Chain A
Amino acid sequence: RKEVEQDPGPFNVPEGATVAFNCTYSNSASQSFFWYRQDCRKEPKLLMSVYSSGNEDGRFTAQLNRASQYISLLIRDSKLSDSATYLCVVNMRTGNQFYFGTGTSLTVIP
């Protein structure tokens, strides 16, 4: 089983839509979870950390389900500028080695 798995998509949604991505991880001892976004041929940029109680930042909501070992990202009221690849990132073992998912591609259509 891969350390981190994501549905690669692509997700094509109209502006204003709500879209959700899931990510599963294999190591139950993982401690830190993040969502990053990556634009084509650019560096990953932190979108948000994921906390046990769930957290929200504007139109973005992240949740963690430790029992089922998955994290999710919900984007409300999608904007054209949300078009990117969304990367799920999880730390492993001692906490100093981070694993990236393959990314989920999102295109928001006018």
Chain B
Amino acid sequence: EPEVTQTPSHQVTQMGQEVILRCVPISNHLYFYWYRQILGQKVEFLVSFYNNEISEKSEIFDDQFSVERPDGSNFTLKIRSTKLEDSAMYFCASSSTLNQPQHFGDGTRLSIL
């Protein structure tokens, strides 16, 4: 069964550094998403991406965040100048069409020191 893959599984970074989290969505999917989950809290929507542009973003997704689809397979989340509160699990997801179930990768655990 096709799956969403994410790398790295764990990223440890000093506060103030930039990080790039990588995702390879399911190949025939058109909609891509990033979520985060702070330990012990709920899954929070960050951004959705379709047709090479952001379609929706939440209040969390401020100027320090950006997304990119640099080629036909990767979908990246960049966090500039990381803060301690950015420590969380970041999940990438994709879906075939709008309103269809999203399939999640197994996440990147980001730890900011």
- A interface residues, Cβ below 8 angstroms from B: 31-32, 34, 38, 41-46, 49, 87, 91, 93-103
CA distance A32 to B56 in the complex (A): 16
User: Which residues of A sit under 8 angstroms from B45, Cβ to Cβ?
Assistant: 97-100
B102 at interface by CB-CB < 8 Å:
yes
Contacts from B to A (Cβ < 8 Å): 31, 33, 35, 41-45, 48, 50, 55-56, 58, 89, 91, 98-107
Enumerate chain B residues within 8 angstroms of A44, measured Cβ to Cβ: 43, 91, 104
The minimal Cβ–Cβ distance linking A65 to chain B, given in whole angstroms, is 19
Q: Is the Cβ of A100 less than 8 Å from the Cβ of B43?
A: yes
| 17 CB < 8 A contacts A-B | A41-B89, A43-B106, A44-B43, A44-B91, A44-B104, A46-B101, A87-B42, A87-B43, A93-B56, A96-B31, A96-B55, A97-B45, A98-B33, A100-B43, A100-B44, A102-B41, A102-B42
Q: Which residue of A lies closest to B99 (CB)?
A: A32
Contact of B42 among A41, A43, A93, A100 (CB under 8 A): A100
Which A residues are in CB contact (< 8 Å) with B100? 32
Question: How many whole Å from B44's CB to the nearest CB in chain A?
Answer: 7
Known: A42-B106, A43-B91. A34 touches B101 (CB 8 A): yes
Nearest residue in A to B35 (C-beta to C-beta)?
A100
Q: Which of B56, B106, B107 is the one whose CB lies under 8 Å from A96? A: B56
Question: In the complex, which of the residues A44, A46, A95, A102 has the most CB atoms of chain B within 10 Å of its own CB atom?
Answer: A44
User: How distant is A45 from chain B, measured CB to nearest CB, in Å?
Assistant: 7
Partner of B105, one of A34, A43, A95, A100: A43
What are the residues of chain B within 8 A of A38 when measuring CB–CB?
Answer: 43
Contact B104 A96 (CB under 8 A): no
**Is A43 within 8 A of B56, CB to CB?**
no
List the 6 shortest-distance A-B pairs measured between CB atoms, nearest first.
A100-B43, A43-B104, A32-B99, A97-B56, A102-B42, A96-B48
